Amino acid sequence: MYEVVVEGPEVDLLEKIKKARSKDEDVVRVVEEMKKAGVRELRGDEWKLEEDLVLKEEKVYVPKDKELRVEVIWLHHDVPAAGHGGR
């Protein structure tokens, strides 16, 4: 496992993602299943809990919240890692 440093606006974004998960029925059901079973992974490694974040297929799951998803896209759309340089 490796450590990821999160800073700037992403810190607030992660907090919003953590809070929004209670409004997404799918993720609520998955988290409840994990808690009942006393595990941090479910269905192989499709779903995981790490540091209060829900991961699906090893990526942070962004709950079904339109404003939150738009914010994620906006923050990461024009970064060099996206591969298109803002074009």
pLDDT tens for each residue of 25-79:
988 998 899 889 888 888 877 899 888 889 999 888 999 999 999 988 888 776 5
Q: Is the pLDDT of residue 87 over 70?
A: no
Mean pLDDT of the 6-16 span: 78
- Torsion region of 51: left, alpha or beta (phi above 0 gives left; psi -120 to 50 gives alpha): left
| Mean pLDDT calculated for residue range 6-34 | 85
Look at residue 2 in the predicted model and tell me its pLDDT. Answer: 46
Joined tokens for residue 75:
């923050």
The span from the CA of 47 to the CA of 39, in Å, is 11
pTM of the predicted model as reported, rounded to 2 decimal places: 0.68
Every domain of the chain and the residues it spans: 9-81
